[in-house]
A and B are shown apart, each in its own frame.
Chain A
Amino acid sequence: MSGERFEDVWRREVPHVLAALTRRYGDFDGAEDAVQEALATAAREWPRTGPPDSPRSWLVRVASRRLVDAWRSDLARSAREQAYTAREDGPPPEAQAADDSLQLLLLCCHPALPRASQVALTLRAVGGLTTQQIAAAFLVPTATMAQRVSRAKAALRSNGAHFDQLPAAELPARLAAVQQVLYLVFNEGYTSSGGDHLLDVSLTREAIRLTRELRARLPDDPEVAGLLALMLLTDARSAARTDARGDLIPLERQDRSRWDRDAVAEGVALVQAALPDGTVGPFQLQAAIAAVHAEATTSAETDWLQITMLYRMLARVAPGPMVTLNLAVATGMAHGAAAGLAVVEPLRTDPALARNHRLPAVRAHLLELAGQPDEARAEYAAAARLTTSVPEQRYLNARASSLAER
């Protein structure tokens, strides 16, 4: 394990250790706490003593001891203690089931949990992050994140959620929730990366790592492949998406030589392998769109016709105002600004978008293309007022004033 950080080692083992304890003792909640304590012990001891020969069995041993200690010290549970002490006499818990990570992901994304709690619990129980690290990554106090974790565990308990195979009928919906959670983690990391805060945890890296784990368990699922491809193709642009000042650089003005070519190649290969395979889901389509962008060496070479077709397909499988807005941009580039404006027109009366900055921002862009600077300026200004992103507001205000100077 030379060159590998201690933290990478123990975090990779977390799902296996937690699964082993939960399977053995049946107490997910207690096991989850015990694993976190074992990680803290590892953080203290490994740098001093060196890593153990088998990190996994070390962690299982330490976490089991913590779990049993916790039961013992909890006098109010004396009756339960007897039951658990009896179980202690058996063989040590084994950690080797191949689909530990998957089982845990499915449990953490139980439908009884609010999305924010699913995210928090997934990052702790499967990702092996501490509550403090998760809180820092989401820019909330540790106490707030701790509430989300304990809320999640309480909801699992009260719903009698078990750590075992899901009925086949429930699997597709639960897997979809897992994918949504991983994508949300990725997006949180990606959209925040323009900010000036330094983090010790990269949510994008974590989301990609966990999606790779998921893909290793479900190599034949084209949507999981699509999700991984989408993350890789998006993340490939990260070095080019901000300038020295931390301001966002729009896709068409990014220095494409700074895109991560390895990540692009891996993402494109994943999309190409997944697309002909069965039903085409929204992640595959979004990844395919990202792949078309990635394959253009300059923004002028972008195949907007193909992107327009892909957005039309996306609008069929996953309709929504945001997809329509993206379709409008692509249509504007492929078939002219007037065609793009026609696509966006029905959204102007959609109450769901009444306070969303993306609608006036897209219209501004299309109106500017159409040679209507006055209307474009007004829409840029409206978008700037509505956005809550500081760099976007700066960008939109700059567009508005550049049109005013003409």
Chain B
Amino acid sequence: MKYVILIHSNPQPWGHPTPNFLPEYEALSPAEREQLDKEFEAFLGELHAAGELVSGEALGDPTTSKLYRASSHDDPPVATDGPYSESKEHLAGFFLIDVASQERAEEIAVRFSGPGETVELRPAMWSGGDEA
């Protein structure tokens, strides 16, 4: 079963890894930060070694995004510069995992959540299905 883990964050300035640019992270002691980084790095390594991590991308600053919206089929889409909303958090990156169960996906998603960020776990749709 495939899931995406979406990282919603508002690093200031925009940068990766996102926690490094959040006040909640800066408030930690250097030893605590190092510990967090090391644990997460090791966790990513485990996911990769287990063949559960399919892919992941860090996204650019939301101000660099371009939005296209067509109001009807006949109108050409209108392009505007991002971000499209003034929300505090933006999609900052995502990971695609392939795991045996929802429980395992939840267990993994929790590990992606750091102070000051929202992590979203969403199942990916697939094109097959049971007939019953």
Contact = CB atoms under 8 A, between A and B. Distances in A.
A361 B128 CA distance: 17
A40 to B, nearest CB: 22
A91 to B, nearest CB: 39
A192 B49 contact: no
Given A144-B51, A355-B102, A250 B131 contact: yes
Contacts of A329: 132
Contacts of B50: 114, 116, 147-148, 151
Interface in A137-184: 138-141, 144-148, 151
A115 B52 CA distance: 12
B123 A388 contact: yes
B125 interface: yes
A191 interface: yes
Contacts of B123: 388
B80 interface: no
A391 B127 contact: yes
A245 B2 CA distance: 24
Contacts of A148: 50-51
A393 B48 CA distance: 31
- In the complex, which range does the number of interface residues on chain A fall in? 35 or more
A147 B129 contact: no
B130 interface: yes
Interface string B85-103: 0000000000000101010
Given A140-B54, A388-B123, A147 B49 contact: yes
Nearest to A392: B129
A298 interface: no
A193 interface: yes
Contact of B54 (A144, A192, A246, A355): A144
Contact of B131 (A141, A146, A248, A388): A248
Contacts of B1: 388
Contact of A145 (B51, B100, B102, B125): B51
